[in-house]
Chains A and B, each alone.
Chain A
Amino acid sequence: MSTTVNSKGSTSTLQAKVLTLVNENGLKIFLAVVALVFIGFAVTTHNYLTLFNIKTIIRDAALVGIMGIGLTFVTLSGNFFLLSMKETAALCIITFATGMSHDYGFILSLVASVAVAMVSGGLQGLLIGRGGNPIVVTLGAAGILYGIASWWSDNLVISFRRPNDAEWLGTGSVLGIPNITITFIVIAIVAELVLRKTSFGREVYLIGANRAAGKATGHENRSMAIKVCIIASVCCAIVAVAFSAQMSSAQANYFSSEFGSSGDFTILVIATVMVAGNSIMGGYGSTLRTSLGAVFISAVDNMMVLQGYNSGPRVLSVGLMIVFSILVFAYMRRDNRSEG
């Protein structure tokens, strides 16, 4: 799709050059920017470019990154994004912690949590695939899922005994690398391979890039929406389990208040997808971009913490990053599209 950019001839040569450059080398440019940020702030910020801090940055990026990778499938298939990410995670974390506190063990609790995610994701995908708007459907689903999670747990903290067999995921590490980080990296690699090497991955791109062509060749969004919603929801479940294992407890509002500076984890997840320039209209982008976006946001956030900024400027900077990247990428692709 990047070669037909200048077909209209209405773009000026400079713009066309920039456009081609970014479309073809977008990932490289993004990497360069990330590298520049690292180098630039390493000079000005004390204790920033230490091995320990870099590990912290990637570990902080892991949870939001895993959910971002799940959401990328939804976005790539042209179904925009799910506004029910943090609520799905809330229901999963309650499921997991309830299982753990009743001594069902790690595996059974994990399976229950993933099953809950698959059911809720599948139902949302069913509605979306039948022509429901993803934003509106998941906005409604978010209310329901959060309601169920709070009602089930009576809005109380559910904690389970330490030591337990979930601790390896929450606080354990291999060769000094936290297991959450390893999970993140593994999921990122698997997701990228699925997208690049399997027919399912190519179907995601096809349906996202051109839904009519997909339908004509027998790849309907009706079943695709269900699949991608399940993938996104299962990623939410993994994050919920990892977070619960870290805290040895759970509450329905963990993903609304306890972490994430903005108080809205869903928007932070969407930010990781957007910042790296995945096309929100679908068909263009990759999970690798999302992973790097998560690390990028985490790196900037970490730097601002070390510089002593409060949550206001940090949320502001993430917001600026999203809006800036939306505007830049929309401007680049403006002439590429006939209608908004």
Chain B
Amino acid sequence: MTSFNLKKITSKDPDLAFAILLSALVFMFFSLSEPLFFNINTGFAIMERFAVLGLVGLALTLCIIAGEIDLSIGSNAALSAVIVVRLTDSIGATNAILIALAVATSIGLIQGFFIAYLKVRAIVLTVGTLMLLRGITLFAADEKTVMLTDFDIPDFIQEKMFYIFSPTSFLVLGLFVLVALFMRYTKYGREVYAIGGARKEAVAAGVSLKRPMMIVFAISGLCAGIGGAIIGLRSGTAQPLGLQYLLLAATVAAFIGGVSILGGKGGVFGAFVGVLTVNFLNTGLVFNVTPAYIAQMYLGTLLLIVILFQNMSKVYEDKQRRQLKLADTDSFRKRLMQTLKP
């Protein structure tokens, strides 16, 4: 009976089942191979990483659900980090964060508007804004790494509470819940799924392309902004050309979470699982003193494996559907022949 139930679950949402399995496997592998991995301090470190990568992974998941991909996410986060670090000294951390978030969100809004209004693909526009935002960031940072003068200001965001959480990870978890509720229970959330999964049909049914696209990219900008602000405040420094690695890690997380590049698939819970998997992997690799480029190599391999898995399951589904259809027409022909016989 158990195997039957398992089959039922996996056939209902095979991608999510795969994601949870993968995440558990990675976690178990490092728990068994590294004696210090299964530990409250490691848990705290994982949650701290989750705060940043979770945001970007969530943002990218939403974009991919809407059938688009936001390549400018790393540049946007870097701009936000530079703004926060530069302005904190003069106007205080709170104001600096507010300004950075406003800038990041409006960048997202403008991108979403142009994508919907000009019917241009997001990858095309965002690869341009990627460079544009780098230029603006270099400009804002005077082409050098900016630094806080008082490193005590941002300590409050990484205070430990409830064993493995901090204010930032609580904030990010709260945001996950909010976005999940938004996507599931509001009209706007369903519109995002609609323009991703079946854009022509959705537009024909009267869904405006503009609103969901602007919502998605605004959320994406906001998430990148918060992520950048957290990184900037936590380390006290910000590099104008940094944070390029976020895109790969977030894409891996989103695809493990079960999104499809064709859009309309996946969800916030999947993104959560995907980000956790990537965090387990990244944190586990730190224990082995793995250089960053090797970690990147693992992430790239993981991404290609997940894509292969998705493609194979899609080919399998298509085959099954075709066979069903064939069987259908066969039985129809048989019945037809029988009625024609006498």
A contact residues vs B (CB 8 Å cutoff): 80-81, 127, 130-133, 135-137, 139-148, 150-151, 155, 252, 262-264, 267-268, 270-271, 274, 280-281, 310-320, 322-323, 326-327, 330-331, 334, 337, 339-340
Contact = CB atoms under 8 A, between A and B. Distances in A.
A318 B131 contact: yes
Chain B CB within 10 Å — which of A127, A139, A151, A310 has the most? A139
Contact of A316 (B132, B255, B291): B132
B307 interface: yes
B98 to A, nearest CB: 25
Given A135-B71, A316-B139, A330-B124, 8 more contacts: A132-B307, A143-B297, A143-B299, A264-B134, A320-B132, A326-B120, A326-B125, A340-B115
Contact of B121 (A127, A132, A146, A281): A281
Nearest to B306: A140
A267 B127 contact: yes
A147 B293 contact: yes
A280 B121 contact: yes
A137 B302 CA distance: 11
B241 A144 contact: no
Interface in B189-208: 199-200, 203
B142 interface: yes
Given A139-B251, A140-B301, A339 B118 contact: no
A263 B241 contact: yes
A301 to B, nearest CB: 12
B134 A155 contact: no
B171 interface: no
Interface in B67-96: 69, 71
Given A316-B139, A319-B134, A327-B118, A144 B200 contact: no
A280 B118 CA distance: 14
A146 B241 CA distance: 18
Interface of B is mostly: helix
Chain A CB within 10 Å — which of B69, B124, B139, B308 has the most? B124
B131 A311 contact: no
Contact of A319 (B131, B200, B291): B131
A317 B128 CA distance: 11
Given A155-B291, A319-B129, A322-B131, A147 B139 contact: no
Contact of A141 (B143, B241, B300): B300
Which size bracket describes the interface of B in this complex? 35 or more
B248 interface: yes
Chain B CB within 10 Å — which of A127, A133, A151, A252 has the most? A133
Contacts of A130: 311
Nearest to A313: B139
A148 B296 CA distance: 10
Interface of A is mostly: helix
A131 B314 contact: yes
Interface in B279-300: 291, 293-294, 296-300
B304 interface: yes
Contact of A323 (B115, B132, B300): B132
A258 to B, nearest CB: 13
A170 to B, nearest CB: 26
A339 B326 CA distance: 32
B136 interface: yes
21 contacts: A130-B311, A137-B307, A140-B251, A140-B299, A140-B300, A140-B302, A141-B304, A144-B301, A147-B294, A155-B291, A274-B128, A311-B138, A312-B143, A313-B139, A315-B135, A318-B135, A319-B134, A322-B128, A327-B114, A339-B200, A340-B115
A340 B199 contact: yes
Contacts of A281: 121
A319 B132 contact: yes
Given A133-B261, A139-B247, A316 B136 contact: yes
A322 B303 contact: no
Chain A CB within 10 Å — which of B119, B131, B209, B298 has the most? B131
B133 interface: yes
